[in-house]
Amino acid sequence: MRRVAAVDCGTNSIRLLVADVAADGTLTEVERRTTIVRLGQGVDRTGELAPEALERTFAATREYARVVRETGAEKVRFVATSATRDARNRQVFADGVRAALGVEPEVVSGDEEAALSFRGATGAVAVSHPGPYLVADLGGGSTELVLGESAPQAAFSMDVGSVRMTERHLPSDPPTQAEVEAARADVRAALDEASAVVPLGRATTLVGLAGSVTTITAYALGLREYDRSRVDGAVLAVDDVLAACDRLLAMTREERLALGFMQPGRADVIGAGALVWSQVVRRVRDEVAAAGGELTGVVTSEHDILDGIALSV
């Protein structure tokens, strides 16, 4: 048994997992934290990480360094994804993380991000659901789609996510119909590219990961406050997922904030997250049907890229 720490720094949030990993790959969670820092603020427009976003991220990283020390993790792996991949000033980010945590952050490619997410998610899902699995990791700046059974067989990283789509298309509160249609067109174009690489119709089980998906699931389940034990492993009917997405997209920010499970830093971007997720679910449902199958449900997993990072250590 070895105690390790995994950090996933995305466009909207930075997350920490401290876990004990056995030689057979069994992972036992010690500590799991999420902090919304909006590192990707404005990156789609400016191509750079904003100073205030960097400082929020460094403050969270310093707090995570304290947790790592107190829990006695032997090794730390820090992975940064979409926002950092896109930023010209990512060296400033790397220097700040190294100063705060003492490790070099790894800016991983979309393919590696997808592989880590697949490993983290399927380790838990495979116990009760059949493959092939299509794992969709819906982040703030990108959405990774990866298909496989025991290992990834095809993967594609789409430059669509909750923060990117909000900044690019959905400035109004609530969004206008014209804004929604422009965002949908953008996501559909990305899915056209993805489907040329990843055979979506081969999926037997669709697994959704990350904050947008878990928040949509909490809403579809009618939760008054967030309950990880109910969200993790939840299986929702396709129509229920799509209905929840449509309702969240149509809400104002204040209406979303009034939902007991909603994190304040997610309320302004969950509409775009719901829009992306609804388009992914619809496309997978349609392509599975075209291949002669039926997608009856969608699985939500709390086990994701963080678990994959911890296992990779």
The per-residue pLDDT for 82 is 67
| 3-class SS letters over 52-98 | HHHHHHHHHHHHHHHHHHHHCCCEEEEEECHHHHHCCCHHHHHHHHH
- Evaluate whether 2-107 and 126-306 have a shared fold: yes
Q: What is the rounded CA–CA span in Å between residue 13 and residue 20? A: 23
Query: What's the CA angle centered on 162, arms 241 and 170, to 5 degrees?
Result: 100
Residues 61-66 have a mean pLDDT of: 96
Q: Is the pLDDT of residue 3 over 80?
A: yes
Residues 265-291 have a mean pLDDT of: 96
The per-residue pLDDT for 24 is 80
Identify the bridge partners of residue 6 per DSSP, sorted by sequence position.
Answer: 17, 77
Long-range CB pairs of 198-201, under 8 A, 24+ apart, other chains included = 198/134, 198/145, 198/146, 198/147, 198/154, 198/155, 198/156, 199/147, 199/154, 199/287, 200/134, 200/145, 200/147, 200/283, 200/284, 200/287, 200/288, 201/287, 201/288, 201/290, 201/291, 201/293
The per-residue pLDDT for 136 is 95
| Residue among 30, 67, 113 nearest 308 (CA) | 113
Instruction: For the beta carbon of residue 312, count every other beta carbon within 10 angstroms.
Output: 17
Phi then psi for residue 153, to 5 deg, are -110, -25
Question: By the 8 A CB rule, do 12 and 310 touch?
Answer: no
How do 143-148 and 133-138 pair as beta strands?
A: antiparallel
The per-residue pLDDT for 279 is 97
Structural domain boundaries of the chain? Answer: 2-107, 126-306
Q: Is the pLDDT of residue 17 over 90?
A: yes
Q: Is the pLDDT of residue 178 over 90?
A: yes
DSSP string, 210-248: SHHHHHHHHHHTT-SS--HHHHTT-EEEHHHHHHHHHHH
The per-residue pLDDT for 195 is 96
The per-residue pLDDT for 1 is 85
pLDDT higher for 150 or 262? Answer: 262
pLDDT per position as a tens digit, 182-191:
999 999 999 9
- CATH number for the domain formed by residue range(s) 2-107: 3.30.420.40
Q: What is the rounded CA–CA span in Å between residue 123 and residue 142? A: 22
Q: What is the rounded CA–CA span in Å between residue 206 and residue 186? A: 22
Q: Is the pLDDT of residue 68 over 90?
A: yes
pLDDT higher for 151 or 138? Answer: 138
Burial class from Cβ neighbours inside 10 Å (0-12, 13-18, 19+) for residue 117 reads buried
pLDDT higher for 119 or 196? Answer: 196
Decide if domain 126-306 falls under CATH 3.30.420.150. yes
pLDDT per position as a tens digit, 199-245:
999 999 999 998 899 999 999 999 999 999 999 999 999 999 999 99
